[in-house]
């Protein structure tokens, strides 16, 4: 199992899957997406996946395998009720959080003018309203370093849901592959 300087673990074969994920829905997610495991049939979700709304990411998973929450930056901080629903009503006992490289929610301060101008020109907002919206929203939605962010989210969810397996994963856009985050 090879780990890079940032703690990303490549999953190129079944033996690369960390032992704590083998035989679990997280391990199956890695097998389906990275290793081309043939799809099985599911009657209900096995896992909750929290991932970014970015259109450059697509998962290779079978129908009914997962609940998926897609938000900017994969920030599930505001999705507590949805997570609780998937656990309490949906019965999932595994959560995979997917960060990714080149995320638009990283470095938001540098996107201020484009954001404000886009709302003024594209949505018909006043400049003042767009600037206020940006200023109010950035502190809640900025992810900073994508790998550190997914680690922190996983740590928080492990404390909130101690009986649920929470796995931080990372999607490399150019490769289309998932990595485990150590």
All structural domains of the chain, each given as residue ranges with its CATH number in brackets, are 8-106+144-181 (3.40.1050.10), 107-142 (no CATH)
Report the DSSP pairing between strands 94-100 and 66-71: unpaired
For the cut 90, the answer to whether the pLDDT of residue 99 exceeds it is: yes
Mean pLDDT over 139-164 rounds to: 96
Cα 22-27-33 angle, rounded to 5 deg: 150
- Give the torsion sign (CA, 38, 42, 46, 51): positive
- For residue 21, which of 44, 46, 54 has the smallest C-alpha distance? 46
Looking at the predicted structure, is the pLDDT value of residue 64 above 90? yes
Q: Is the overall model pTM greater than 0.85, yes or no?
A: yes
- The DSSP output letter for 106 is S
| pLDDT score, position 79 | 76
């Amino acid at each position: 199992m090879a780990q890079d300087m940032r703690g990303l673990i490549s999953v190129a074969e079944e033996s690369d899957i960390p032992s704590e994920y083998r035989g679990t829905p997280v391990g199956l997610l890695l097998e389906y997406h990275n290793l081309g495991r043939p799809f099985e049939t599911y009657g209900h979700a096995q896992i909750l996946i929290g991932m970014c709304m970015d259109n450059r990411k697509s998962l290779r998973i079978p129908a009914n395998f997962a609940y998926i929450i897609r938000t900017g930056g994969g920030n599930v901080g505001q999705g507590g009720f949805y997570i609780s629903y998937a656990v309490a009503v949906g019965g999932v006992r595994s959560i995979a959080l997917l960060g990714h490289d080149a995320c638009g929610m990283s470095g938001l301060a540098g996107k201020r003018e484009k954001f404000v101008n886009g709302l003024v020109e594209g949505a018909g907002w006043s400049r003042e309203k767009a600037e206020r919206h940006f200023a109010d929203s950035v502190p809640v939605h900025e992810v900073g370093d994508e790998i550190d962010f997914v680690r922190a989210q996983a740590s928080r969810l492990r404390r909130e849901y101690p009986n649920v397996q929470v796995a931080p994963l990372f999607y490399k856009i150019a490769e289309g592959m998932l990595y485990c985050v150590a």
